[in-house]
């Protein structure tokens, strides 16, 4: 059976995306094999107590910055060998908190400085670059504001600089608030995959390993030799570590040295962090891959793995392509089973490639506690699926060269489930990406219906996981949004403007929910009136091909006639020069006669007339057999015509107009919220609160 050009194009996109995603997935399993097969060779040497500068880059971290400084000053290391730099670019209460903390520790004999650049140029990378100009120690340790290094950190980490070519030791991240919510549990499991599989595999081989931006120690000479900190990307850590390894330096991962940190608990903060990582990785790919490719001293396998690591976030746009393509292909009756028409093997393949393999990896990673971690896997699958929209936008931002802005991930000092953060400063509002997540969620509901009504229910759970993910991420983004001023830490009564903002926020939330419900209802109604009748018609045509009873065939044709009348009501008419209606076609750009429903209706009428005549002819006559063969051939052709027309029913003029209006209304609500937020920001700046 021939496939129409549009469906063929979508099918090609679907297959290409599947191949690329599978390749990246298999590479992760290859790294898993390396991390398990190759035993750790972590040598140490007696290093004494060399001089170390501990750099603490912070920006508006009043809930956690003091905790970090306290932990660093509690390190079991000689005060005269340890210099502490608080690189404070803050513009809120954090400045006063840090000034007081630094002053207090100075009186206790610590070599600690509160460094204020007076600018945020270059963001975190700019602060680190500035600090290197006044750093004179042999080693440099870096901690972000939400980390809590143990007191033995330096004494256990520094001895791993046992060889002269080791330029970095990266320690594993712990999760001090892992059990706070489903979001933090999913993030913790994802980070553990990164550290215990990817970092471990690369550290124990000749593959490039990246610095994670914190909980690591650099050799000063390595930073200088690699060209220092650059501010061209959003992931200065990845950039510097790759440049260092291109120079021949070795980076080492220490899985047994765990530094606890606070995971983002607000969905909008987690999305911001993921956005920065995704965009920064693609930026580094553009910046570094050319140099890595021509570097002779870099092994071929290391070049391949560098390409995979720096470009792996393109998996997210490919996931969305597959998500959009799958319902179209199912509606077009394209066979997508792994083994032709064996649904059980298809779902088994998906399970083996995804959850099944990850369960085995979890068992190897956590040993006795693996069952507890395995329970988190469904949350991680939903979480990652839902983030695909956010990370896709980040990828396109990087590819299109959109201006960088380092937006930090706010932390609240939240450690237990009983701690509340929603009235704290730094709470982030949802962004326009949430609109896209809602769109994909509604589209997913339609996809699930299509998979069921097209007799392909095996694909419903595959579409369903992503659909749940989109709605979950969107819901959490909305529910975690607050209009909250960030600069004042003193409780006070709300102003008239803030009360109005809260009122607008509540009305907007109700409006968005109403629009989503209305959009979902219209999508289901539209499917029932435009698409499902075509599915029924194909079923009736299959019934005609499968029988030789004229009465049964006539009943099928009459039902097809009813469904045609339902579908044709919503199709625009095409008239000739005399004003006569000559066509009703869902293909409104370059329509063809094969998808002309008026012609299809005429064919059905002709078949009804033919079957009435055939029913009067003896069944053992040649006329009867010839007539039945003609009916079967025409039914098969009509089925192909209907299948060709089905994808275009989704992109009808009315659907496009409705979708545009639906999106425009939500954008209008977003615009109202942003306008109110800007008014509050302006008020903050003019009143100085």
- The DSSP-derived string for 459-487 is GHHHHHHHHHHHHHHHHHHHHT-----SS
Q: How many residues does the chain have?
A: 689
The Cα 511–Cα 488 span in angstroms is: 30
Active site residue 76: no
Q: Which of 88, 89, 239, 397 is catalytic?
A: 89
Q: Which of 144, 192, 237, 260 is catalytic?
A: 237
- When pLDDT is cut at 50, 70 and 90, the band that residue 76 belongs to is very high
Query: Residues 6 or more apart from 302 whose CB is under 8 A from it?
Result: 206, 207, 208
Nearest to 151 by CA among 221, 224, 81, 75: 75
Nearest to 266 by CA among 28, 74, 445, 476: 476
- The DSSP-derived string for 409-443 is -------STT---TTSTTPPPP-THHHHHHHHHHH
- 621, pLDDT greater than 50: yes
Q: What is the pLDDT of residue 686?
A: 53
Note whether 101 and 91 are within 8 A (CB).
no
Note whether 572 and 584 are within 8 A (CB).
yes
The Cα 500–Cα 507 span in angstroms is: 11
Note whether 273 and 406 are within 8 A (CB).
no
Nearest to 307 by CA among 399, 232, 208, 241: 208
Q: What is the pLDDT of residue 488?
A: 43
Pull the structure tokens for residue 373: 């971690």
Q: What is the pLDDT of residue 110?
A: 96
Query: How confident is the model over 527-572, as pLDDT tens digits?
Result: 778 878 888 898 899 899 989 899 999 999 999 999 998 888 878 7
**Higher-scoring residue by pLDDT: 101, 427:** 101
Query: How confident is the model over 309-332, as pLDDT tens digits?
Result: 999 999 999 999 999 999 888 877
Domain ranges of the chain: 43-266, 492-689
- When pLDDT is cut at 50, 70 and 90, the band that residue 514 belongs to is confident
pTM of the model: 0.78
- 117, pLDDT greater than 80: yes
Query: How confident is the model over 622-679, as pLDDT tens digits?
Result: 999 999 999 999 999 998 888 888 877 776 666 777 777 777 777 777 666 666 666 6
The Cα 622–Cα 639 span in angstroms is: 26
Q: What is the pLDDT of residue 689?
A: 42
* Buried residues in 5-22 as b, exposed as e (16+ CB within 10 A): eebeebbebbeebeeebe
- When pLDDT is cut at 50, 70 and 90, the band that residue 125 belongs to is very high
Q: What is the pLDDT of residue 680?
A: 55
The Cα 318–Cα 173 span in angstroms is: 29
**Higher-scoring residue by pLDDT: 180, 504:** 180
Q: What is the pLDDT of residue 4?
A: 66
Q: What is the pLDDT of residue 489?
A: 44
Nearest to 218 by CA among 48, 50, 52: 52
The Cα 532–Cα 525 span in angstroms is: 10
Tell me which CATH homologous superfamily contains domain 43-266.
Spore Coat Polysaccharide Biosynthesis Protein SpsA; Chain A (3.90.550.10)
Active site residue 256: no
Nearest to 221 by CA among 135, 101, 332: 135
DSSP 430: P
- When pLDDT is cut at 50, 70 and 90, the band that residue 40 belongs to is low
Q: What is the pLDDT of residue 344?
A: 57
- When pLDDT is cut at 50, 70 and 90, the band that residue 244 belongs to is very high
Pull the structure tokens for residue 497: 């403007």
């Amino acid at each position: 059976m021939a496939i129409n050009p549009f469906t063929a194009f979508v099918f090609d996109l679907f297959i290409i995306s599947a191949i690329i995603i599978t390749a990246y997935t298999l590479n992760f399993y290859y790294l898993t094999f390396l991390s398990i097969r190759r035993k750790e060779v972590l040598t140490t040497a007696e290093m004494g107590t060399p001089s170390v500068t501990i750099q603490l880059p912070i920006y508006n971290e009043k809930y956690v910055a003091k905790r970090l400084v306290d932990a660093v000053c509690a390190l079991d290391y000689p005060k005269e060998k340890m210099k502490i730099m608080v690189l404070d670019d803050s513009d809120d209460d954090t400045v006063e908190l840090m000034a007081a903390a630094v002053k207090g520790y100075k009186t206790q004999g610590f070599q600690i400085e509160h460094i204020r650049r007076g600018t945020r140029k270059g963001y975190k990378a700019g602060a680190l670059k500035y600090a290197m100009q006044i750093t004179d120690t042999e080693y440099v340790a870096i901690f972000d504001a939400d980390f809590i290094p143990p007191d033995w950190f330096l004494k256990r980490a520094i001895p791993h600089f046992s060889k002269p070519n080791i330029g970095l030791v990266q320690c594993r991240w712990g999760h001090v608030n892992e059990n706070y919510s489903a979001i933090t549990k999913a993030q913790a499991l994802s980070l553990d995959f990164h550290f215990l599989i990817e970092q471990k595999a690369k550290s124990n081989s000749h593959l490039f390993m990246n610095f994670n931006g914190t909980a690591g120690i650099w050799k000063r000479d390595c930073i200088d030799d690699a060209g220092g900190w650059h501010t061209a990307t959003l992931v200065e850590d990845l950039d510097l570590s790759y440049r260092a390894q291109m120079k021949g330096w070795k980076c080492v991962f220490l899985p047994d040295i765990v530094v606890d940190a606070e995971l983002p608990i607000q969905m909008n903060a987690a999305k911001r962090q993921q956005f920065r990582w995704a965009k920064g990785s693609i930026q580094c790919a553009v910046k570094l891959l050319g140099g890595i490719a021509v570097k002779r001293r870099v092994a071929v396998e290391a070049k391949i793995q560098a390409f995979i690591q720096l470009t792996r976030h393109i998996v997210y746009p490919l996931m969305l392509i597959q998500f959009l393509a799958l319902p179209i292909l199912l509606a077009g009756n394209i066979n997508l089973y792994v083994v032709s028409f064996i649904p059980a093997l298809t779902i088994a393949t998906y399970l083996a490639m995804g959850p099944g393999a990850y369960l085995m990896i979890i068992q190897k990673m956590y040993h006795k506690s693996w069952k507890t971690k395995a329970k988190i896997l469904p949350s991680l699958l939903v979480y990652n699926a839902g983030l695909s929209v956010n990370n896709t936008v980040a990828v396109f931002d990087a590819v299109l060269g959109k201006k960088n802005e380092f937006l930090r991930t706010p932390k609240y000092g939240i450690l237990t489930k009983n701690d509340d953060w929603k009235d704290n400063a730094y709470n982030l509002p949802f962004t326009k990406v949430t609109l896209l997540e809602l769109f994909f969620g509604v589209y997913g509901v339609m996809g699930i219906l299509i998979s069921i009504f097209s007799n392909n229910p095996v694909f419903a759970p595959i579409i369903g996981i992503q659909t749940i993910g989109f709605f979950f991420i969107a819901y959490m983004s909305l529910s975690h949004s607050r209009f909250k001023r960030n600069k004042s830490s003193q409780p006070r009564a709300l102003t008239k403007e803030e009360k109005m903002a809260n009122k607008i926020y509540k009305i907007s939330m109700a409006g968005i929910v109403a629009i989503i419900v209305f959009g979902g209802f219209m999508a289901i109604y539209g499917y029932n009136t435009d698409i499902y009748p075509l599915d029924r018609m194909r079923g009736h045509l299959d019934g005609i091909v499968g029988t030789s009873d004229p009465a049964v065939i006539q009943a099928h044709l009459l039902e097809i006639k009813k469904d045609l009348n339902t579908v044709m009501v919503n199709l625009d008419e095409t008239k000739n020069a005399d004003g006569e209606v000559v066509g009703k076609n869902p293909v409104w750009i370059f329509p063809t006669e094969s998808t002309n429903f008026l012609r299809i209706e005429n064919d059905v009428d002709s078949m009804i007339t033919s079957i009435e005549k055939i029913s009067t002819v003896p069944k053992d006559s040649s006329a009867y057999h010839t007539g039945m063969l003609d009916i079967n051939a025409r039914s098969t052709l009509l089925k192909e015509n209907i299948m060709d027309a089905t994808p275009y029913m989704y992109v009808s003029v009315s659907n496009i107009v409705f979708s545009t209006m639906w999106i425009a209304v939500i954008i209008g609500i977003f615009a109202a919220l942003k306008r109110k937020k800007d008014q509050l920001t302006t008020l903050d700046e003019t009143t100085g609160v």
